[in-house]
Amino acid sequence: MDVMMVSSLSALVLTLISLSAADDLDGFVPGFRIDPIFRPPSCTYRAQEGDYVYQHYTGYLSDGTKFDSSHDRDGTYNFNLGVGEVIKGMDMGMKGMCKGEKRKITIPPELGYRGRDLGKIPPYSTLIFEVELADIDPSGFKIELISMPDNCTRRTASGDHIREHYNGTFPDGTPFDSSYDRNRTYDFTLGERQVIKGVDMGLMNMCQGEKRKITVPGILAYGEDGYDDLIPPDATLVFDVELVEIVEGKLKWYKIDGPDCSVEEKAHHHDEVTIMYNGFTESGFKFTNGEDPYKFRVGAEEMLHGLNHGVTGMCNGERRRLRIPPELAYGDVNEAGIPQGIRLTLDIEVIDIHKEDMFKAIDANSDRYISMKEVEEWIKSNPEYEEKVAESKEELENLKAYYFTDRDVDKNEWVSRNEFYFTLSHHDEL
């Protein structure tokens, strides 16, 4: 996969050019499943990303048709785990296995071959693998605790924007880089390939104020290419890191199923939606609306911000899985038995959308005309757009053009109701 440098040498950062929806959600995809077949009585080491694994497998389609098996070739299939040498679902399914363990791994198309036609594997096939981990060559990746703060109410997860300090050395102690020398933290979003893979792994599930030593083998760092004259090929790197601050988390969602619909039919700011939901926390605490549908207005201040954002853009009958960071959930407040600083997962289904009059919502002074200022204020307050426009002035200008300039048919710097809806009816997508 292509990579590119995104900042100066001092940052030592790698990013992937593109990420799939599955990557964005860290493989948190409905339909993916691991079922144990056999667990050895003792286990001294579990496979992790970067390890070289020796695997036996038999692959089936969902109707039971066998399409491939390493047993037929009388030899194991060997690969480096977690670095993209196999399909995403296999990388996920093999993590945490013990030598001699056997599993059944169900892989939906999003984590398999998607729409590719591979002959024996039709496009968009769900794959079922029965796998055995025959042996492991550990990569040498290691996390060692240096110090832990007295109080930890929040741990890092993928999507968190964090600030860290680090010293980078080779195993013999020779330094190659340090944020302390520049007297400023290195800030990035965790789990989005903005740093080398081993650092992403090493900073997960970390408390603010915690310090760790992370040993990163070459395969999880700069690999066989190295980095200029500073990092030799296949070099192992050692980082002493301090998590200075968890700045904020990011809402992540995945469409489970349901229809597509036009932009006018989707749930938007001010619409009244009715949903069914089931939720759970990282600790296993579960909650649900029961049999009674839950109704609320999108964008209402009293609602979880994560739910407001997550339901925006949904169609009637659509189901989504949301992962909501503490900042968009209950924050540092203990609410309804849910511990403070906790990350929530919600499975929601929209069962009704009562459309709000969008023109009326934008027309803040109720004079029956929309001004550019009213449009801009509405865009900035809309959960569907606020993150995008905060990051991109171009995005804001595009939205202003869509909702105002393109509808101002007579170019008098005001948009009437007729202008607004006549133009809107001729657009299917934003």
Are 10 and 184 contacting, i.e. CB atoms less than 8 angstroms apart? no
Task: Please tell me the distance from the alpha carbon of residue 160 to that of residue 207, in angstroms, as a whole number.
Answer: 12
The catalytically annotated residue of 51, 91, 160, 177 is 177
* 177 tagged catalytic: yes
Of 113, 222, 227, 254, catalytic = 222
**What CA–CA distance (Å, rounded) separates 161 from 180?**
19
From 196, 342, 348, 353, active-site residue:
196
Cα 126 from Cα 61, distance rounded (Å): 6
Catalytic annotation present for 402 = no
Distance CA(294)–CA(277), nearest Å, equals 8
Q: Which of 32, 129, 166, 254 is catalytic?
A: 166
Query: Does 32 qualify as catalytic in the annotation?
Result: no
Instruction: Please identify which of the residues 54, 176, 287, 296 carries the catalytic annotation.
Output: 176
Which H or E run contains 240? strand 237-248
Please, are residues 89 and 18 in contact by the beta-carbon 8 Å criterion?
A: no
Question: Which residue is catalytic, options 188, 227, 239, 359?
Answer: 239
Active site residue 330: no
SS3 content of the chain, % helix, strand, coil (to 5): 20, 35, 45
**Which stretches of 39-76 are assigned E, i.e. beta strand?**
52-61, 66-69
Look up 176 and say whether it is catalytic.
yes
Q: Which residues of 152-173 are buried (b: 16+ CB within 10 A; e: fewer)?
A: eebbbbbbbbbbbbbbbeeeee
- Cα–Cα distance for residue pair 244/209, rounded to 1 Å: 5
Is residue 239 annotated as part of the catalytic site, yes or no? yes
- Residue positions annotated with a catalytic role: 166, 176-177, 196, 222, 239
